[in-house]
Chain A
């Protein structure tokens, strides 16, 4: 079996998800036994125009980035969105809640007019091109990434969770954060992280994006029960979920 040529590209992000891959330690040797990396800025200096699989990290925030992404898509047999920024727009989408000119002025001050800072509304990768597989999360869960890579390498469709983080909390025997009056986004957030945050006694803040039918209306009803408000929910959901479909 010939190894697929894989290119990892980054757009607007902290590059932490790429770092997660670099940080796979012993497993990175295994990873390289099934893929042939041809471009990966975090780990190598080579660049390539030819690849089978592209892995896209980061959200799309400039018009020229959309063009670059489209050109990558054209060359890719399979395109994978890596991490919250790429999958849902992530934290970068907070910007979309405000007037764009105000945002530019606030962040860049006098440099706001410089061409390379000409930011536009933040988009998730899937809002620009077709995405074949998502590896959600901030940062990604490396085990999930590794599983998806192994599936792709063997030509198997990865079987990824469609259920919420509550499932993983219950499997681990975690105490529900709602029991402590905290607003946890676990019930509406896509699982696959192993409920890392609730396991460490922190409420889920939804970095993996919502499940398909998040039932936000029910979530609003639940708040009252725990003495919380819709504004509490909205502000919590904005961090990773601004303008995600089906929600706020």
Chain B
């Protein structure tokens, strides 16, 4: 696979050429923050951003989507699957890890065609972090850098120098317009290795004292911890921590009939285990009616249930979005895990 060393202007020309030929998302400014949006030209693309408001999951699992249509009159029921190729520029390594985790979950039996179709249609251009965000702790989670799950990786290796690395066939095609650019040499590759080393230490804004691999065991011992009650007293049950999380994938499904009272659609929307009625079933019985139970569940889901499901992988990539999104300031996984470790 090709590795190219390019200048800022070569990079921008490449991005512009991609935009010309593809539906392209990228990280753009949104007031004084950053979010993914449709890219119209390369100058809109921000590669030195700290963190995006939304994680890229919405590109594969939209917040609201119609997944099927029905018509009672002719008993017709059809899945609706969005099937359009697109490119996304600027995904940080920790978010790539989250996407990889979603891929594993959604491709398991009962494979989710809606998610997987979008995912297979995507070409992901990852970008190594240049500016660590205020709450990032990816350095502790092993997600400050990433080795797979992207098609192209862009790393800033100097003031006017980037290394562009195609990791897949898709990526190779995407950088075809760079064929005239210089191939990266050993010193460029070394510069990138230096960036990686540096990022592993730089992306540590909250000091995690418990290795991610120890989370499942620690949680198993902490079911009765007073922490759950204590923290959840301040919880608004607003679900913000769930909804901004790149590894939260829960959704709710509802039907809506059209005005003709015959046809309609089936819609799925993001849901979250911190929301009051998330665990409500027929009856109506709520399995987790208590705030503290819901609060605890979120951590068990991140640090015990998902790892059980997918080979020890923790469902937290250390992006810190939950820490920032929680107005009550009770959603910091680092604080929770450190405190549980202290109690033991």
Contacts and interface: CB of A to CB of B under 8 A. Distances in A.
Interface of A: 1, 27, 30-31, 33-34, 147, 150-151, 153-154, 156, 159, 162-164, 166-167, 170-176, 178-179, 186-188, 211-215, 218-219, 221-222, 225
A176 B323 CA distance: 13
Contacts of A188: 236
B257 A150 contact: yes
Interface string B61-97: 0011000000000000000000000000000000000
B238 interface: yes
Chain B interface, DSSP helix/strand/loop, else mixed: loop
A166 B236 contact: yes
A151 B255 CA distance: 10
Nearest to A214: B236
B237 interface: yes
Contact of A156 (B257, B270, B277): B257
Nearest to B244: A170
Contacts of A186: 238
Contacts of A167: 238-240, 243, 270, 272, 275
B58 interface: yes
A218 B235 contact: yes
A166 B258 CA distance: 28
A145 to B, nearest CB: 13
Contact of B236 (A34, A174, A215): A215
B106 to A, nearest CB: 19
A176 B238 CA distance: 13
A214 B277 CA distance: 14
Given A187-B327, A222-B328, A164 B237 contact: yes
Contact of B259 (A30, A156, A218): A30
Contacts of A178: 327
A121 B35 CA distance: 47
Contacts of A214: 236
Given A163-B275, A163-B276, A163-B277, A171 B327 contact: no
Contacts of B259: 27, 30-31, 33-34, 150
A221 B269 CA distance: 31
A175 B31 contact: yes
A176 B325 contact: yes
Given A173-B54, A225-B329, 5 more contacts: A163-B276, A170-B325, A213-B276, A214-B236, A218-B233
Contact of B238 (A154, A179, A187): A187
A162 B274 CA distance: 12
Chain A interface, DSSP helix/strand/loop, else mixed: helix
Contacts of B254: 159
A27 B259 CA distance: 9
A51 to B, nearest CB: 20
Interface in B293-307: none
B339 interface: no
A170 B276 CA distance: 17
B328 A221 contact: yes
Contacts of A171: 63-64, 243, 269-270
A173 B238 contact: no
B261 A154 contact: yes
Contacts of B236: 164, 166, 187-188, 214-215, 218-219
A223 to B, nearest CB: 10
B35 A222 contact: no
Contacts of B243: 166-167, 170-171
10 contacts: A156-B257, A164-B236, A164-B238, A170-B240, A171-B63, A175-B31, A187-B238, A213-B276, A218-B233, A218-B235
B240 A166 contact: yes
